[in-house]
Amino acid sequence: MGAAGLAFLAADSAGASTTPRTAAPGTRRRAVLHPSPSPTPTPTPTPRPAPWTPARLTAVKPKTPIRDLKELVPPPPDRTIALTIDDGPNPTWTPKVLDLLAEHQVHATFFIIGEQVKEYPRLTRRIAAAGHQICNHTMTHPLSFDGLSRKRLKKEIGEAHDLISQTSGIVPTFFRAPGGAWSPAVLDVIGEHGMLPIDWAVDPRDWARPGVGRIRKTLMGSESGNILLVHDGGGDRSQTVRALRGAIPRLKKRGLTFVAL
């Protein structure tokens, strides 16, 4: 190496010219830095259609909460039921429910809460990746939902709608009011977002933890066209998981097929 050492070029503060500088003996030429590639744009969320039709579902009475699959247009095939699961995602119980559904090859409909989505985005995406339907169950699950002001309703429904869409990649096309507390204002606001109101026909009140046997017995009373309600959030759901483990295969053995909305 000559006495002058190694020279390398460095950009001036304006970035418009370079001047030679002398490097200390034994140093290497500075690597050229290249700009990082632009991040992949986030895909535009799209609705997820029901498995029995490529088109978006409508309802016989869109201003009335739907309690039976036969109220949908087009209706699903005969001998079908829909398992709906509320109040998640929950880091303890949602994975157990997902594993159980995968074991029995059942697709369900998850009505998820915005605050839970914000806290557990990866779990939200796991639900979607497993092929389940993703739906709106408000941002914070407020009680007495039918008594809220229109401004609060817009906030609860709209913020959850946007957050669920961007996190899961699925635009919610169905909405369930907390506690089934509906009002004309609630129906108007969800209509602005293109969502249908979904209630239920079979409710084992698993949130109250009445016992595995009682939850399972109620679920076993399901008939073709029924929408079933259980929960994967809001508390200890061990009874729910155990009841589903017994009820799902028995219902399938009766010739009923589970469909996602």
The answer to whether position 122 is within a domain reads yes
Secondary structure of the chain in HEC code, one letter for each residue: CCCCCCEEEEECCCCCCEEEEECCCCCCCCCCCCCCCCCCCCCCCEECCCCCCCCCCEECCCCCCECEHHHEECCCCCCEEEEEEEEECCCCHHHHHHHHHHHCCCCCEEEECHHHHHHCHHHHHHHHHCCCEEEECCCCCCCCHHHCCHHHHHHHHHHHHHHHHHHHCEECCEECCHHHCCCHHHHHHHHHCCCEEECCCECCCHHHCCCHHHHHHHHHCCCCCEEEEEECCCCCCHHHHHHHHHHHHHHHHCCCEECCC
Averages of pLDDT over each 10 residues, the chain, 261 residues? 40 38 43 41 80 91 93 96 98 98 98 98 97 98 95 98 97 97 97 97 98 98 98 97 98 98 95
Neighbours of 124 (CB within 10 A): 25
Domain encompassing residue 212: 67-258
Q: What is the reported pLDDT for 213?
A: 98
For residue 11, with 0-12 CB atoms within 10 Å meaning exposed, 13-18 middle and 19 or more buried, which class applies?
Answer: exposed
The answer to whether position 204 is within a domain reads yes
The answer to whether position 249 is within a domain reads yes
State the catalytic residue, choosing from 68, 86, 87, 199: 86
The answer to whether position 98 is within a domain reads yes
The answer to whether position 29 is within a domain reads no
State the catalytic residue, choosing from 137, 141, 161, 231: 231
Whole-model pTM: value is 0.83
Q: Quote the CA–CA distance of 140 and 87 in Å, as a whole number.
A: 10
The answer to whether position 61 is within a domain reads no
- Amino acid of residue 3: A
Q: What is the reported pLDDT for 43?
A: 65
Token pair for 35: 């700009």
Q: What is the reported pLDDT for 18?
A: 39
Token pair for 40: 């992949």
The answer to whether position 5 is within a domain reads no
Residue 132 designated active-site: no
CATH classification of the domain holding 213: 3.20.20.370
Residue 199 designated active-site: no
Number of domains in the chain: 1
Q: What is the reported pLDDT for 56?
A: 87
Which bin fits 194, alpha (ψ -120 to 50), beta or left (φ > 0)?
Answer: left
The answer to whether position 90 is within a domain reads yes
Q: Quote the CA–CA distance of 203 and 65 in Å, as a whole number.
A: 15
Q: Quote the CA–CA distance of 93 and 236 in Å, as a whole number.
A: 8
Per-residue pLDDT tens digits for 134-155? 999 999 999 999 999 999 999 9
Per-residue pLDDT tens digits for 38-87? 444 556 899 999 999 988 899 999 889 999 999 999 999 999 999 999 99
Q: What is the reported pLDDT for 42?
A: 57
